[in-house]
Structure 1
């Protein structure tokens, strides 16, 4: 079986780039994915990180949808505890109205940032735990996205509440997770579900089995629907793929150890620094969970992932670093990961 391919993008910012450069590179990469026939292109939500420009999924989706013609665009995901559900529903209702049939709303439960930034995002509110209200917020967003909206009571009167005045269609809502919490909630609500294999690296089989075994069919989704995400670096040779993976490995190690974060290094700069000896085993284990290699090897790894976890779609997070001298508004190594993988899977 050859699985469908999709893309997850954090809009990485390299040490030689401005935010504008990183956005331009992601716009070009979305166009490449569109031309190659990828199914969907999702952008993440992370805040106050020096190497990540994906801070606002709706804004990014609008930019990418305007630059492409066919591919589905979505969030991977909107971190719902950071936002008022009505605002999220308004944003994605407008996106769906502008690009009908092309919009996915992926919803996550994690804050996606540090405690201070989370506090600021919530307007300084600290009198409740929005994470604890996540199931309620999910239900609110789903209802508000319906073309007829809902009715709400204020005082003695009932008022109509719609995300947009005259919707004809609604975006597809997905739940995202890296534990069994969202798997269980997605199954209870009859929603599609995605496991963040690229981030967690373990517990994938258990979460997907829980989702499928406890799934309650809904009108929109009579059958469980799922796929998984994986970090990927594909190059003409395995050695070159390893080189290109090094900058992202270093960034992930810093995150895991609570060290200061930094823009993504260029490959040559990353090679000069290397991996500290005490972190080599962890770095090697990390790489084994990724799709890394030449096109034939990488295509085999993707097929194995799809077969192992019983999915017909794999969302790759292309993390290949750039070489010195790369045009600042491009990411050719990330684009090559998509091209080589798509071509190898088609053969």
Structure 2
């Protein structure tokens, strides 16, 4: 078995750090991922969310494309309801012209914020998109990128010359059906809703229709990953994200020491435990087994690791050890 590794970077907000600090830490991480041979790194679109400083993926992609050598760069994702389809297509056509054969356009649906007023401002007062409206927007983005719309996204632009590769983010069978109908590769949000990953992947493969974007189903699974020297150390470092999840906290991530002094609310413990058990946490040996389990259960073609740790050096070490664990799992 061979499995590719990629990374999802939310530009984790660490307590008592400035925006400049957070972006500098992400730069160190991305450069190391490039050195380690990770296939791609994606950035989210999050607005007014205290846990993440990843606000505008396109800006980050342009920046890191100039700093790295080979790693693919993408959005995980750009949120279609917040933008017009033409604006998204123009952004990613330009990114692909700047960095040919290195740009992924992961498209998602959520508002990217927990604040209704921010969502309304992004959407110019519009209500949340319906299923039909979202599907129409995704199809329109693809229509522009294909070159079939008659709109030239920029002078000299050629749609098939190193263009952006579209993906669809999914956490439900409904999203899987849309990705399958449009013939797109799919990125499963296992790190958020692991209980639906297997059914969503199966629905996607059953309904997949080949397209210019993909000739066969392709499943990438996003996995929350905390790999350290021991299972006990992984549990200690993961406590801040467990606490944030339990409290649905919008604030910056606490340090492991701060989180150790706080209790997870009793009514949230079952949810936190079930989500954590479905991810990859522990020593290299434990992570090796978990990666193999997730690939076997979902049939993943690729794993995208989300490492929600407070300190950038801990995140980098996790990516290093994860690469080692995955190498060992493919040899097992």
Post-superposition offset of 1:200: 0.8
Query: Residue deviations 1:192-245, cap 9 Å, x none?
Result: 111111111111111111110111111332211111111010111111111110
Paired residues in the alignment total 324
Structure 2 residue aligned with 1:122: 123
Structure 2 residue aligned with 1:156: none
Structure 2 residue aligned with 1:164: 154
Post-superposition offset of 1:278: 4.0
Post-superposition offset of 1:2: 3.4
TM-score, reference length from structure 2? 0.93
Indicate conservation of the 8 Å contact 1:110/1:131, yes or no: no
Query: Residue deviations 1:256-291, cap 9 Å, x none?
Result: xxxx52111011111111323443333322221221
Structure 1 residue aligned with 2:235: 242
Show structure 2 runs of 5+ residues with no match.
Answer: none
Superposed, 1:6-21 pairs within 5 Å as 6-21=6-21
CA distance in 1, matches of 2:46, 2:130: 17
SS of 1:316's partner is strand
Structure 1 residue aligned with 2:315: 334
- Give the direction of change, closer, same or farther, for the CA distance of 1:220–1:132 in structure 2 (3 Å limit): closer
SS of 2:16's partner is coil
Query: Residue deviations 1:157-200, cap 9 Å, x none?
Result: xxxx2222222322110011111111101111111111111111
Query: Residue deviations 1:45-74, cap 9 Å, x none?
Result: 111111211111101111222221101000
Indicate conservation of the 8 Å contact 2:170/2:189, yes or no: yes
Structure 1 residue aligned with 2:298: 309
Post-superposition offset of 1:101: 0.2
TM-score, reference length from structure 1? 0.89
Superposed, 1:16-35 pairs within 5 Å as 16-35=16-35
Indicate conservation of the 8 Å contact 1:189/1:216, yes or no: yes
Superposed, 1:132-143 pairs within 5 Å as 132-143=132-143
Post-superposition offset of 1:120: 0.4
Indicate the structure (1 or 2) with the bigger Cα radius of gyration: 1
Structure 2 residue aligned with 1:36: 36
Indicate conservation of the 8 Å contact 1:81/1:131, yes or no: no
Post-superposition offset of 1:129: 4.0
Indicate conservation of the 8 Å contact 2:12/2:310, yes or no: no
CA distance in 2, matches of 1:26, 1:183: 30
CA distance in 2, matches of 1:166, 1:204: 41
CA distance in 2, matches of 1:116, 1:292: 36
Superposed, 1:1-347 pairs within 5 Å as 1-113=1-113, 114-125=115-126, 129=129, 132-146=132-146, 148=147, 150-151=149-150, 161-168=151-158, 169=161, 170-255=163-248, 260-322=249-311, 331-347=312-328
Show structure 1 runs of 5+ residues with no match.
Answer: 152-160, 323-330
CA distance in 2, matches of 1:115, 1:132: 21
Query: Residue deviations 1:314-345, cap 9 Å, x none?
Result: 111011233xxxxxxxx001111100111232
RMSD of the TM alignment (CA)? 1.6
